[in-house]
Amino acid sequence: MVLTVFRNRLRPDAGEEYGTTLERMLEIVRSMPGYIQHKVYIAGDGERCTIVEFDTEEHQRAWSTHAEHIQAKQKGRESYYSEYHLQVCTVLRDTRFPKA
């Protein structure tokens, strides 16, 4: 499994266009081969963290290089984010404890 960890802070003027772009990106990523799931967390200090899971690096890279995603990333740098930090990681261990 491959995880993308996207930590960011929105600019105060990100506006409604950010929400529209985000909804479109979610629509696309959910349709991508190998997509497993994603979660978004927002810290008390306003930092946002999105964790996206794909089954393989190839599928994660297909998402990263999707034409609309590339445009959205550019728009994010120009208009939505004051800062971000992106990490793509390979899972070395995956342990679960399902409570019965």
In tens digits, the chain (100 residues) has pLDDT values of: 999 999 999 999 998 999 999 999 999 999 999 999 999 999 999 999 999 999 999 999 999 999 999 999 999 999 999 999 999 999 999 998 987 6
- Domain count of the fold of the chain: 1
CATH classification of the domain holding 80:
3.30.70.100
Any domain includes 98: no
Name the CA dihedral angle for 16, 24, 45, 2, rounded to a multiple of 10 degrees. Answer: -170
Task: Count CB atoms within 10 A of the CB of residue 63.
Answer: 19
pLDDT of residue 22: 95
Any domain includes 97: no
pLDDT of residue 33: 98
Any domain includes 81: yes
Nearest by Cα to 85 from 35, 62, 54, 51: 51
Q: Which domain holds residue 76?
A: 7-90
Predicted TM-score of the model (pTM): 0.90
pLDDT of residue 95: 92
Query: How big is the chain by its Cα radius of gyration, in Å?
Result: 14
pLDDT of residue 98: 84
Place of tokens 């959205």: 72
Any domain includes 1: no
Any domain includes 99: no
d(CA 59, CA 20) in angstroms, rounded, equals: 24
